[in-house]
Amino acid sequence: MARLDVANARIGARRSRLLGAAALRELLARPTPEARLERLRALPLGAALPADLGADPLAAVEAALRDAARREAVRLVAAAEAERPRALLEAWLRLEEAVAVKAVLRAVVRRAAVEDALAAAPPTPALPEETLRAAAGALTVEEAVAIFAAAGSALAEPLRRQLPLDAERGVLPLELAADRAAVEQARRACRRGEDGAVLRRHLEDRVDVRNAETLLALAGAPPAADAFVPGGRRLPEATFRALAAGGAAAMRAGLARIFPGAGSAAAPWAADRALERALLAPLRREARSRPLSIAVPLAYLAERRAEVRRVAVVLRGAALELPPDEVLDLVEA
């Protein structure tokens, strides 16, 4: 038996149920919140929704979709037929833990609503929603980090070493610390074999995206000496520092050459979507060319994360009565 033939065959069936652009447009076209929820319940994704959505239906829907994605990730890892692929899948999920931690820390610094923080935090088995919710409701970053530590997060200690916050740099040093720690953990897991090479290439892409995000966050300001994360493929340190030193316009133009669409200043969300594509597109290519490899579950899990985010954006955007074209830009950019 090949290493992931049964698990990947099952994923193929699941992938066919992911919402595409047409389904999202149809959901957005429904005239009322009730009609949109009714349509969502009729889709395979709607099986996760509770019968009673309570006083805040949109928050309840988002929470249910995130929890369903988290539980599915746990099942996919358990379904891997061999120990090696399971270990690599677990390493990928730890990378998602860093994404969730960063979303929560940003929300705490900005005093954002807890639900906004959770909407930006991908579901991850290591940090259940109740932990993310408690941390997002913390009054200080120190308190949030303590909550992560109490939950057993391996990222808590690297975060602690960056405290207290530097007023000038804000939360960026903590974000970089979380990413460095998560990438290093995953890198140790992928030192050999074809599946290890698949994850290693994905790590290189994630490092490139991390460095692009840093440049966008700095918006043309000179970076600190420790702002660069090594280990990428497309954005070496010399290029990173040259783009950072050239001013905002030159930085965006340079990023657009490396990540098409990432340099957009007119629509800030376009950069986020372009960088999301930079992570997902290579995984999709790997999954097509290596159908028995770990690339198949990795691509699917990334697509499920994107699906949950897009549904939340459509429902929230429609509730705010944003123009449909603007909402579609947010989910399709």
The per-residue pLDDT of the chain, averaged, comes to 87
Average pLDDT per 10 consecutive residues for the chain, totaling 333 residues: 70 86 90 93 90 89 87 84 84 87 93 84 81 94 96 94 86 91 88 88 93 86 81 92 88 88 63 85 92 91 88 89 82 63
User: Which pair of tokens denotes residue 150?
Assistant: 């109490």
Beta bridge partners of 170: 166
Condensed to tens digits (0 to 9), the pLDDT of residues 90-132 reads 888 888 899 899 999 999 999 988 888 887 787 677 888 889 9
DSSP state of 1: -
- Tell me, rounded to whole angstroms, the distance of Cα 130 from its chain centroid: 18
State how far the Cα of 206 lies from the Cα of 219, in Å rounded to an integer: 20
The candidate with the shortest Cα–Cα distance to 196, out of 286, 100, 285, 304, is 286
Mark out the alpha helices in the chain (DSSP H runs): 5-15, 21-29, 33-42, 57-79, 83-110, 114-120, 129-136, 141-150, 156-160, 172-189, 193-218, 237-245, 248-258, 268-289, 295-319, 324-332
Using DSSP, state whether 285 is helix, strand or coil: helix
State how far the Cα of 195 lies from the Cα of 73, in Å rounded to an integer: 18
State how far the Cα of 190 lies from the Cα of 197, in Å rounded to an integer: 7
User: Which pair of tokens denotes residue 275?
Assistant: 């960088």
Beta bridge partners of 124: 127
Q: What pLDDT does 118 receive?
A: 83
Residue pointed to by tokens 């309570």: 54
Q: What pLDDT does 268 receive?
A: 59
41 contacts: CB under 8 Å, gap ≥ 6: 49
Q: Output the DSSP codes for 86-118.
A: HHHHHHHHHHHHHHHHHHHHHHHHHT--HHHHH
Q: What is the pTM of this model?
A: 0.83
Give the domain ranges of the chain: 20-51+64-79+297-333
Max CA separation in the chain (angstroms): 56
State how far the Cα of 279 lies from the Cα of 274, in Å rounded to an integer: 9
127 contacts: CB under 8 Å, gap ≥ 6: 97, 100, 101, 148, 151, 153
The candidate with the shortest Cα–Cα distance to 279, out of 92, 105, 101, is 92
